[in-house]
Amino acid sequence: MKKNFLMLFLAMASIGSVQAETVFVTLEKDNALAVVDPMEGKLIKTVPVGQRPRGIAISPDNNYLYIATSDDDTIKIVDANTLAVLGQLPSGEDPETFALNPAGDRLYVSNEDDSLVTVIDTASKKAVKQIQVGVEPEGITVSPDNRWVVSASETTNMLHWIDTKSMAITDNTLVDPRPRAVNFTADSQQLWATSEMAGTLTILDANTKQAIKTISFEIAGVTKDKIQPVGVVIDKDRNRGYVALGPANRVAVVNAKTFEVERYLLVGQRVWNLAFSPDQKRLYSTNGTSNDISIIDLENQKVTKSVGVGLYPWGVAVKP
Amino acid sequence: MFDSQSLRIIIKLLFIIQLLTAGLVYAEAKQTVNIAYLAQEQKAPPPLSNLDPFIENKGVLGAELAIGDNNTTGQFTGQKFVLKKFIVPIGGNVADVFNKDISEKFQFVVTTLPAEQMTSIADLPAAQQMVLFDAFTRDDALRNEQCRKNVLHMLPSRAMRADALAQYMMKKRWTEWFLVIGPNPEDRLFADAVRRAAKRFGMKIVEEKTWEHTYDARRTAQSDVAVFTQVDDYDVLVVADEQGVFGEYLDYRTWYPRPVIGTQGLIATSWHRTHEQWGAVQIQNRFKEQTGRWMEEQDYAAYLAVRAIGEATTRTKSNELKPVRDYLLSEQFALQGYKGNPLSFRSWNGQLRQPILLAAPRSLVAVAPIEGFLHPKTELDTLGYDQSESTCK
């Protein structure tokens, strides 16, 4: 009996370790959150979450999801286990993208219409500061060492470096037209920034705030103006970075040491945002107009599956 | 959480604090970029209906929004953008204003002027040391045999619009067209563009008629249109009525139940209030908040003109004619225009290449180039006169 129980426990534990990972996808036009089991490659369920959900992030303790519901003018706090809405944050108007700091106590929101970054204290659920940035701020990220917040303004074509201590801009870097997404390497030494209209990726030194390298993408059979880089992520060992190329329907694999483009992986249509699995063996992409996500096996560098999730998948977050 | 009142006060306070401590954060303004805006007041046309009020200030409000955007960027780059507006009253002499107030004082001039006035300004000696940004005309002649080297055209030409419509009609397999032409010279120019597009895309104009009736819908549209449209069968009625003197009365009144497309019904335009993709909703909101009305095509054109100057002066770190002009016409130039593709200028005729919206009054139907129309360089060049077809010398 005892042995059986132990067996059962072990079996459950092993199932648990395989099934534990959950992928959350915001569905901009379904006003809902899709919950996907990536190992099974199945949509588990879809839950209503508010009007026009876009940006999504998970708290460092994996207990809370933060979801920008743009047309509700708020960021919802959702229990990552029960998916119950627990509360909301004063994001300012039309929130789209935001970033959590590594401790999870500060959330930085881009307010596109007002050229502002709003800083929110997640514990008190209060806005503590607003910082004037360029026109139409969109991409935003916090360095893993919590030193910098970088906000990209789409129309000003700039990266604004905000010191997390003084909460003020200390540097501005001009980049190619319409910067969309920004992300630091795990060691906080580099910032990778995509420029949608120029079709480029710029890699910057976080110390000098200057570009080290600007990469253009070229795909046979795809015209230049279809290549519109959006989401960007870099693996924790800084071996490879991955760039979602929007209507080019591909994810570019960039060697993070040589800055060569190694290959292009064909995913769904209008690929927007990317997230790693916790073990970084897989990459998930949201494909806006084909209404699915792609699952990419990073060991073999192959797209293994696409999972239909609902209308206009936008953001993606993964819970271990 | 703040309510909106206190939030606004806080924003203002923060802004003041930032102004006081600006030294650290923002670059000092070292360079001024002066931009002139030249337009003439337009006479209100006779009203067709009471639905749409006549808008007097099309264009200038777009330029004003853009100068604000440029200066937001400028505060980080050390550039200051100044917009000086010259609105000539009806009956006033535009060339006099240009010679007196603009020549030798400005190098970048945005014009909202009809074709003839625009070209006569462009031919003045002082204009040779300028770039003129034409935010009004749609004439193909100005992009071809009558082109001027010192003019950039912000709005799509008639040929670009007709090609956009033709691509959509081809996709829908509406291959047989009934072309209805209005009484004005502009209508004949648009009809020429429609004929060119039909030939280019292998479509057939099975019937062509000129509208010569009266325009008072309340009295005659019901009977006139039905009689007028009794022709051999066709797939789609293509109307050329740029001033809108009768086109609105065609839909639902034709002899056959066929869609209307062209200058009314489904229209080809560079901007429309139904457009909200690719960040467009943000600029629609910002424009409406600043001006209290929807953004019109000429506002969008003037917005892009001033933004193009901002982009080129920021990238070149210059306010001088040659480097800015060279950059505008270079392959590096990529302007964000809220329409998905980066916008740039055709080097052979100064036309801004751009996607064209196909819009019904309350819904955006498609965006041209329509998928499947291919081009070796950029699909945007499937619209209008391509380099090999251009007669601009």
Contact B335 A177 (CB under 8 A): yes
Q: Measure Cα distances from B125 to A244, B92, B153, B260, B392 in Å.
A: 50, 20, 20, 45, 20
Over its length of 393 residues, how does chain B's per-residue pLDDT go in tens digits? 455 566 566 655 555 555 444 434 556 668 999 999 999 998 887 766 667 778 889 999 999 999 999 998 898 889 999 999 999 999 999 999 999 999 999 999 999 999 999 999 999 999 999 999 999 999 999 999 999 999 999 999 999 999 999 999 999 999 999 999 999 999 999 999 999 999 999 999 999 999 987 655 555 555 688 888 999 999 999 999 998 888 988 999 999 999 999 999 999 999 999 999 888 988 999 999 999 999 999 999 999 999 999 999 999 999 999 999 999 999 999 999 999 888 999 999 999 999 999 999 999 999 999 989 999 888 999 999 999 999 998
Say yes or no to pLDDT of A318 above 60.
yes
What is the CATH code for B30-156+280-354?
3.40.50.2300
Give the residue from chain B lying closest to A223, CA to CA.
Answer: B378
Strands A211-216 and A200-205: antiparallel
Looking up tokens 């040929």 gives B159
Mean pLDDT of chain A: 93
**Contact residues, chain A, for B342 at CB < 8 Å:** 177-178, 197-199, 225
Enumerate the domain spans of chain B: 30-156+280-354, 159-269
Q: 0.90 exceeded by the pTM? A: no
- Say which DSSP state B101 is in: I
Per the CB < 8 Å rule, is B279 touching A154?
Answer: yes
DSSP-derived secondary structure for chain A: -HHHHHHHHHHHHHHHHHH--EEEEEETTTTEEEEEETTTTEEEEEEE-SSSEEEEEE-TTS-EEEEEEGGGTEEEEEETTT--EEEEE---SS---EEE-TTSSEEEEEEGGGTEEEEEETTTTEEEEEEE-SSSEEEEEE-TTS-EEEEEETTTTEEEEEETTTTEEEEEEE-SSSEEEEEE-TTSSEEEEEETTTTEEEEEETTT-SEEEEEE---TTS-GGG-----EEE-TTSSEEEEE-BTT-EEEEEETTT--EEEEEE-SSSEEEEEE-TTSSEEEEEETTTTEEEEEETTTTEEEEEEE-SSSEEEEEEE-
Instruction: Kindly determine whether residue A155 and residue B336, on different chains, have CB atoms separated by under 8 Å.
Output: yes
B residues 360-379 near A, CB within 8 Å?
375, 377-379
Question: Does A96 lie at the interface with B, CB-CB under 8 angstroms?
Answer: no
Q: How far apart are CA A79 and CA B20, in angstroms?
A: 42
Q: A157 and B335 in contact by Cβ < 8 A? A: no
Q: Is the CB of residue B177 less than 8 Å from the CB of residue B209?
A: no
Q: Is A247 on the interface with B (CB under 8 A)?
A: yes
The backbone torsions φ and ψ at residue A176, rounded to the nearest 5 degrees and listed phi first, read: -65, 165
B311·A157 Cβ contact <8 A? yes
Q: How close B296 comes to chain A (CA, Å)?
A: 19
Q: How far apart are CA B385 and CA B144, in angstroms?
A: 8
Q: Cβ contacts (< 8 Å) between A170 and chain B: which residues? A: 24-25
- How far apart CA A304 and CA A298 sit, in angstroms, is 10
B1 touches chain A (CB under 8 A): yes
Are B120 and B148 in contact by the 8 Å Cβ rule? The answer is no
CA–CA distance, B295 with B242 (Å, rounded to integer) = 19
Interchain CB distance below 8 Å, A158 and B76:
yes
For B248-304, write each residue's pLDDT tens digit.
889 999 999 999 999 999 999 999 999 998 889 889 999 999 999 999 999 999 999
Which residues have a Cβ under 8 Å from the Cβ of A188 and sit 6 or more positions away? A143, A144, A145, A147, A148, A206
Are B30-156+280-354 and B159-269 in the same CATH fold?
Answer: yes
Q: A167 touching B, CB under 8 A?
A: no
Beta carbons of B7 and A113 less than 8 Å apart: no
Give the residue from B330, B316, B351 showing the smallest Cα distance to B79: B316
Q: Per-residue pLDDT tens for A288-311?
A: 999 999 999 999 999 999 999 999
pLDDT at A64 over 50: yes
Architecture of B159-269 per CATH?
3-Layer(aba) Sandwich (3.40)
| Mutation target vs A (from B4, B16, B28, B76; most A CBs, 10 A cutoff) | B76
Spatial distance between the Cα atoms of A15 and A150, rounded to a whole number of angstroms: 40
Which residue does chain B place closest to A128, by CA atoms?
B1
A314 vs A309: CA distance, rounded Å: 11
Which among B282, B334, B379 has the least Cβ separation from residue A223? Answer: B379
Q: How many CB atoms are located within 10 Å of the residue A81 CB?
A: 12
Total residue count of chain B as it appears in this document: 393
Say yes or no: B279 contacts chain A, CB-CB below 8 A.
Answer: yes
Handedness of CA B262, B264, B266, B270 (dihedral sign): positive
Task: Give the distance from residue A271's alpha carbon to the nearest chain B alpha carbon, in angstroms.
Answer: 14
